[in-house]
């Protein structure tokens, strides 16, 4: 990376930009000094291009107002580069910077909305989940910062958990969700090929894992896989119900983060998985995370209520 952060690139960009702008000006001036050939009868010469046996392209110069518009554009570009950053590491006469403007806008937003978030921070998260205004703000935070991974409907995607069900890797209590958002999570499923054995053993374990949740599995292969499953007990437990203390998923339900096919489970056992949930403590601050956590917690509670009503 040192090659891309050295002072050479700033000089290179500066020279290339100045040469390009001045080159455009020179090209415009050089072409504007060329006079079109006019015959004695007042006809302008042609470029030599002819279509349809008589349609000719005349060699007329560009309108003067159009050329002056180009000159004004070049002058504007030079003035802009003098006032604002655009020439390598040159900061511009006005000293403007995008990060400084961003920080200033953050300060203004904090001054306007900070008291509201501070008030919500003192409110219990379960109460916030029932507050329509708090939910509306939480939804906007979710759509801005979480929807890229978990989807706008919060139902997740392959490798990204569904937040609307009641299946949680680390626990679904509001404080646990808040901890996840503040500090992030790093879930690691180590490669288990060496511990389990051959590809046949891995396939047998995959069928046994499927049998734990009552999914379709080969009973003979599952019976052979039960013994090899001993390598997985430390995290997932004897009954396969997982361990939220370490983020080990429950294998006895039918919720799969990467898919519940034999091939996918074999891939997981053979190669492992490595998932990262980023921390938002420094980026959003605790007050916003508090409100966002309440919204996320409420998503699964609403889903549970809806499911109960539909049964």
Same-domain status, 135 and 254: no
User: pLDDT per residue over 223-275, tens digit each?
Assistant: 999 999 999 999 999 999 999 999 999 999 999 999 999 999 999 999 999 99
Same-domain status, 86 and 133: no
Q: Is residue 252 part of a domain?
A: yes
Same-domain status, 14 and 62: yes
Same-domain status, 166 and 87: no
Q: Is residue 82 part of a domain?
A: yes
User: pLDDT per residue over 7-66, tens digit each?
Assistant: 788 889 999 999 999 999 999 888 777 666 666 666 667 777 777 777 877 777 778 898
Please tell me the predicted confidence (pLDDT) of residue 31: 79
User: pLDDT per residue over 85-101, tens digit each?
Assistant: 988 888 899 989 998 99
| Mean pLDDT of all residues in 152-175 | 94
Same-domain status, 144 and 228: no
Instruction: Tell which residue, 251, 265, 298, has the closest CA to residue 199.
Output: 265
Please tell me the predicted confidence (pLDDT) of residue 52: 77
Q: Is residue 139 part of a domain?
A: yes
Same-domain status, 268 and 242: yes
Q: Is residue 89 part of a domain?
A: yes
Same-domain status, 90 and 64: yes
Please tell me the predicted confidence (pLDDT) of residue 306: 39
Instruction: Kindly tell me if the per-residue pLDDT of 307 is higher than 80.
Output: no
Same-domain status, 156 and 300: yes
Strongest mean pLDDT among 4-8, 102-106, 124-128: 124-128
* Count of domains forming the chain: 3
Same-domain status, 171 and 194: no
Query: What range defines the domain where residue 90 resides?
Result: 1-31+54-96
Are 93 and 83 in contact by the 8 Å Cβ rule? The answer is: yes
Instruction: Kindly tell me if the per-residue pLDDT of 192 is higher than 60.
Output: yes
Please tell me the predicted confidence (pLDDT) of residue 160: 94
Tell me how far apart the 2 most distant CA atoms of the chain are, in Å. Answer: 104
Q: Is residue 196 part of a domain?
A: yes
In angstroms, how far is CA 79 from the centroid of its own chain? 36
Please tell me the predicted confidence (pLDDT) of residue 37: 66
Alpha carbons 130 and 245: distance in angstroms, whole number: 28
Instruction: Kindly tell me if the per-residue pLDDT of 1 is higher than 50.
Output: no
Same-domain status, 239 and 299: no
At 177, which CATH number?
1.10.760.10
| Mean pLDDT of all residues in 118-130 | 94
Q: Is residue 101 part of a domain?
A: no
131: pLDDT confidence band, cut at 50, 70 and 90? very high
């Amino acid at each position: 990376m040192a090659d891309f952060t050295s002072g050479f690139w700033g000089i290179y960009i500066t020279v290339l930009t100045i040469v390009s702008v001045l080159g455009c000006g020179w090209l415009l001036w050089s072409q504007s000094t060329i006079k079109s050939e006019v015959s004695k009868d007042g006809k302008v010469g042609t470029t030599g291009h002819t279509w349809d046996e008589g349609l000719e392209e005349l060699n007329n110069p560009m309108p003067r107002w159009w050329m002056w518009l180009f000159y004004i554009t070049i002058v504007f570009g030079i003035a802009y580069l003098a006032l604002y950053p655009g020439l390598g590491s040159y900061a511009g006469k006005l000293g403007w910077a995008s990060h400084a403007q961003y920080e200033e806008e953050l300060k203004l937003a904090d001054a306007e909305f900070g008291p509201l978030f501070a008030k919500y921070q003192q409110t219990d998260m379960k109460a916030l989940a029932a507050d329509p205004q708090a939910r509306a703000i939480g939804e906007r935070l979710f759509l801005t910062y979480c929807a890229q991974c978990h989807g706008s409907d919060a139902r997740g995607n392959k490798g990204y958990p569904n937040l609307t069900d009641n299946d949680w890797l680390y626990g679904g209590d509001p404080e646990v969700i808040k901890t996840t958002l503040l500090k992030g999570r790093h879930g690691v499923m180590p490669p288990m090929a060496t511990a389990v054995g051959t590809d046949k053993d891995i396939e047998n374990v995959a069928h046994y894992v499927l049998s734990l949740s009552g999914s379709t599995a080969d009973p003979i292969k599952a019976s052979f896989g039960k013994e090899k499953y001993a390598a997985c007990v430390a995290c997932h437990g004897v009954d396969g119900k997982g361990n939220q203390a370490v983020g080990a998923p429950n294998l006895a339900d039918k919720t799969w983060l990467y898919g519940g096919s034999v091939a996918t489970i074999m891939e997981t056992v053979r190669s492992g998985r490595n998932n990262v949930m980023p921390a938002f403590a420094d980026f959003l601050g605790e007050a916003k995370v508090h409100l966002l956590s309440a919204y996320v917690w409420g998503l699964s509670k609403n889903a549970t209520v809806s499911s109960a009503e539909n049964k």
